[in-house]
Amino acid sequence: MTVDTDQRPIAISMGDAAGIGPEIIVKAFARAAAAGCVVYGCPEVLARAARELSPEPGCASLVVAGIDTPRAWRDLPPGAIPVLRAAGVEPGALADVRPGRVDARAGAAAHASIVDAARAALRGDVAALVTAPIHKEALHAAGVEFPGHTEILQDLCGGIPVRMMLANDELRTVLVTIHLSVRRAIEAVTEQAVLQTLRITHQAARAWGQQHPRIAVAGLNPHAGEGGLFGDEEIRVIAPAIERARAEGIDASGPYAPDTVFMRARSTAQRPGAFDVVVAMLHDHALIPVKYLGLEQGVNITLGLPFVRTSPDHGTAFDIAGRGVADCASLCSAIAMARRLRG
């Protein structure tokens, strides 16, 4: 039996121990942004991060507390960071993992943390999942066959179709293809893939309270193909998918030129956006506009899962790991978004 929704914590997976994940988690707790959260990972790694950050405001009083069940967080005193040890992550296993270095042990622990936290979400033991950054090379070194969070979570949920969305207060973008080379991604842009993305996007937006979400579809080629002069994917693939979606009652339009549609969709205090979300064909088409507006506010959201999953809009930042200078703002935004979306 699970606890009442209002009392369930939000799970945070630790991320790569050699990256900035443990540091930003500790800072989020120090700012009280992570209140009501539990961490899945390695208690020793979080405790080390807390000690190293003790001069930081609020960090000196933080204590890592190992717990056995998510609901046990409510029994802890203020200033405690509740951590559930991920399966297979033995005490001392990550003691000599060095910041900023690819390490198979860190990759294995990060994967175990994700799996345990996701399974807790599937059981209903936690209300949502927020994932700290992982390193793809470390995952590969650990023998994990999946390139990122999205694919790991999709597999744990039985291979259901999912999509990645990147969002901030001004712009939301959804990807048709994710972690593929550009050559392979272009081949993966099919009419069915675009239609499925539109369906998932529409359903997710409705679940968040937008009864009639306006979805703009970006083209694949420059100027959306310019009538076939610069490529015909818009004519052969994208436009037919949009027409099928519209026949299902989805307010989708396009394809629009990728170099201008994001500006039209951006919503600011001075000018509301013309669209609620943009569906883009390629990874960088979708992510660059949101990230350009500021990494600190961007949140990655996986659409289509049976639970809410968000993450910061940045990676492990190996170049600054262990220096105590990482900004936890994006993680705090991801936690806040998870609270809003969990219902």
Residue 298 banded pLDDT, cuts 50, 70, 90:
confident
The whole-angstrom separation of Cα 52 and Cα 103 is 21
Query: Which candidate, 255, 264, 216, places its Cα nearest to that of 235?
Result: 255
Residue 1 banded pLDDT, cuts 50, 70, 90:
very low
Residues 52 and 138 in one domain: yes
Residue-number span of the structural domain to which 183 is assigned: 169-293
Asked if the model's pLDDT at residue 334 lies above 90, the reply is yes
Residue 55 banded pLDDT, cuts 50, 70, 90:
confident
170-181 pLDDT, tens per residue? 999 999 998 889
Residues 287 and 300 in one domain: no
Residues 221 and 85 in one domain: no
**CATH number of the domain that residue 253 is part of:** 3.40.718.10
Residues 135 and 15 in one domain: yes
Residues 285 and 243 in one domain: yes
For the chain, the three-class secondary structure string (H helix, E strand, C coil) is CCCCHHHCCEEEECCCCCCCHHHHHHHHHHCCCCCCEEEEECHHHHHHHHHHCCCCCCCCCCEEEECCCHHHHHHCCCCEEEEEECCCCCCCCCCCCCCCCCCHHHHHHHHHHHHHHHHHHHHCCCCEEEECCCCHHHHHHCCCCCCCHHHHHHHHCCCCCCEEEEECCCCEEEECCCCCCHHHHHHHCCHHHHHHHHHHHHHHHHHCCCCCCCEEEECCCHHHHHHHCCCCHHHHHHHHHHHHHHHCCCCEEEEECCCCHHHHHCCCCCCCCCCCEEEECCHHHHHHHHHHCCCCCCEEEEECCCCCEEEECCCCCCCCCCCCCCCCHHHHHHHHHHHHHCC
Residues 20 and 148 in one domain: yes
The whole-angstrom separation of Cα 117 and Cα 100 is 24
Residues 104 and 60 in one domain: yes
Residues 16 and 153 in one domain: yes
Domain boundary, last residue among 259, 276, 293: 293
Q: Give the mean pLDDT of 98-102.
A: 95
Residues 288 and 309 in one domain: no
Query: Which candidate, 127, 129, 126, 134, places its Cα nearest to that of 109?
Result: 134
Where is pLDDT greater, at 56 or 92?
Answer: 92
- What's the longest Cα–Cα distance across the chain? 65
Asked if the model's pLDDT at residue 262 lies above 90, the reply is yes
Asked if the model's pLDDT at residue 3 lies above 50, the reply is no
269-293 pLDDT, tens per residue? 899 999 999 999 999 999 999 989 8
**Please, which residues have CB within 8 angstroms of residue 195's CB and are 6 or more apart in sequence?**
241, 244, 245
Which residues pair with residue 13 across a beta bridge?
40, 131
Asked if the model's pLDDT at residue 184 lies above 60, the reply is yes
Average pLDDT, the chain: 93
Please say whether the beta carbons of 319 and 102 come within 8 A.
no
Residues 122 and 235 in one domain: no
Asked if the model's pLDDT at residue 157 lies above 50, the reply is yes
Residues 287 and 321 in one domain: no
Asked if the model's pLDDT at residue 243 lies above 50, the reply is yes
The whole-angstrom separation of Cα 87 and Cα 40 is 9
188-220 pLDDT, tens per residue? 999 999 999 999 999 999 887 788 999 999 999
Query: Which candidate, 201, 210, 204, 209, places its Cα nearest to that of 252?
Result: 201
Q: Which two tokens stand for residue 94?
A: 């990550």
The reported pLDDT for the residue numbered 6 is 54
Asked if the model's pLDDT at residue 2 lies above 70, the reply is no
Residues 108 and 243 in one domain: no
Q: Give the mean pLDDT of 221-248.
A: 95
Where is pLDDT greater, at 156 or 313?
Answer: 156
The reported pLDDT for the residue numbered 293 is 87
Q: Number of structural domains, the chain? A: 2
Q: Which two tokens stand for residue 240?
A: 């037919």
